[in-house]
Chains A and B, each alone.
Chain A
């Protein structure tokens, strides 16, 4: 492990030398002064530069290599997005400026909202939510406000399939709902009979990801939407996997009433170091009166008397939204459709190359991602999905999503995205096929991997059971 910046600190060393005061000193009384000096590292500029450069070389992002992290859509982020987001007209404005002085920014947000409506088949969008789960929470509060406005107070439950992202039940719970989990059918879609069995006038909504986390488009979606609507429930679309259907089919046309998008997935804005993302929420007309305060409507911010209230300060992660709008404008409608087409083609190509070597959990044509089960490999060699992933690090590849969805044992969820070339996909497939042979001949190789990374095999069990959560500097 490298040193902390505080461990590089040498008393008296500093980066810049300030000139002597040339104005009279002001004496502050004790109540205005700190009793202890702030704990800052005393380092030179070159120390700081080398420290952070060294750290940056230990990080891994999509700019470093292949990153097939299922459900996260780690596509290339075109550099023109960053160029647009660095324009002074966007970076030099302040959120409390008068609206008539920021008309360019309003124009952009209005245009982005309209484009997102077009892609999803929704009637209105709010750009406030900061990321996906925040969007889910916003969407569920909108659903709640809708039912309450109709004095329909019996609805206390939200249905979530067992293949859902963990954020779905968590968001429903935060919004005050109890969660009803329903199983998947043998094909990996919603078990319609199980759905019927839990439908009642106590259901506020069904949350669905389509295609789901198995990378499968649910062919029964129209029937599912009808069934939920018949009992007065609403349909929530988790947009995590929109990259598979963008420009092909619209959640609004499938019957969904509210949708959140992850601009940092589908619309090529950076995932960053855990943020900032952007999780706009789109709604059908029936939910419009409840949109958050601070939602741009017709290029102004009207008072919304029935609003669920503000979801955050100001206007969302604005510069992330600039990047997403740049992406949409540079690709155009046909380009977006081609991107999703290529994302699905790439996933199917990779699945076809791997399926003879690792069982596909739910065989058939996949959408933008697919899930392998390494249970057989674990049973025959003792090499777990986790071990195989550690060995990928030595090859400069970020591992796929592991152990998710929970309904697949030793799961590897692989999403190559449309921006990877055939050569990259072939290299990955060749590596995986080679791993299978090596796992049989030399399983211990995997149990000790990785070998070339700055941090070698970590003891994740010890770290979870006996975490050290603070260090004194």
Chain B
């Protein structure tokens, strides 16, 4: 499983199509208790580096940035009633699945991401 990251803490699975997208353990930890998720619709286009949804914690609302460009083919609607799943298992919980091309060179590999000084 090849998991690549954006500096804004979203991940994408590069070696499985369609590509699952989620948020990192660091992101869920920094956000705190996630209470609400805004999701796109199946069929919506997404663009690498642009917003595709929001996560809301008790502290703040944060944008979800897409790590790749393409089309949304599946949306994890279970998150609408159980957003805490993102806190409990961030790497095992995909938010959307996207049909498209992962520009691997523009993303950060897992070892580098985990070693990064994050803010």
Contact = CB atoms under 8 A, between A and B. Distances in A.
Are A and B physically bound partners?
yes
Interface string B51-75: 0000010111110000000000000
A460 B57 CA distance: 10
A303 interface: no
A464 B60 contact: no
Contacts of A166: 61
A230 B56 CA distance: 38
B83 A404 contact: no
Q: Of residues B59, B62, B83, B84, which shows the largest number of chain A Cβ atoms within 10 Å of its Cβ?
A: B59
B58 A461 contact: yes
Interface stretch (B17-25, B29-37, B94-102, B109-117): B29-37
Contact of A465 (B60, B62, B84, B119): B84
Contact of A461 (B35, B61, B62, B119): B35
Contacts of B60: 403-404, 406
B74 to A, nearest CB: 23
Main secondary structure of the interface of A (DSSP, over half): loop
Interface string B2-42: 00000000000000000000000000001001011000000
A465 B59 CA distance: 13
Given A403-B60, A404-B60, A406-B60, A465 B30 contact: no
Given A403-B60, A406-B60, A461 B33 contact: yes
B104 to A, nearest CB: 24
Interface in A57-84: none
Nearest to A404: B60
Nearest to A408: B119
Interface residues of B, number: 13
Interface in A393-422: 402-404, 406-407, 409
Contact of A464 (B30, B58, B119): B58
Interface residues of A, number: 11
B59 A464 contact: no
A460 B119 CA distance: 25
Contacts of B56: 464
Contacts of B58: 460-461, 464
Interface string A445-473: 00000000000000011001100000000
Nearest to A411: B59
A125 to B, nearest CB: 32
Contacts of A406: 60, 62
Given A403-B60, A465-B83, A465-B84, A409 B35 contact: no
Contacts of B62: 406
Contacts of B30: 409
B118 to A, nearest CB: 10
Contacts of B36: 464-465
A465 B60 CA distance: 14
B53 to A, nearest CB: 15
Contacts of B84: 465
Contacts of A465: 35-36, 83-84
A403 B83 contact: no
B34 to A, nearest CB: 9
Interface centre among A166, A406, A407, A461 (most CB of B within 10 A): A461
Contacts of A460: 58
Interface of A: 166, 402-404, 406-407, 409, 460-461, 464-465
16 contacts: A166-B61, A402-B59, A403-B59, A403-B60, A404-B60, A406-B62, A407-B119, A409-B30, A461-B33, A461-B35, A464-B33, A464-B35, A464-B56, A465-B35, A465-B83, A465-B84
Given A166-B61, A465-B36, 17 more contacts: A402-B59, A403-B59, A403-B60, A404-B60, A406-B60, A406-B62, A407-B119, A409-B30, A460-B58, A461-B33, A461-B35, A464-B33, A464-B36, A464-B56, A464-B58, A465-B83, A465-B84
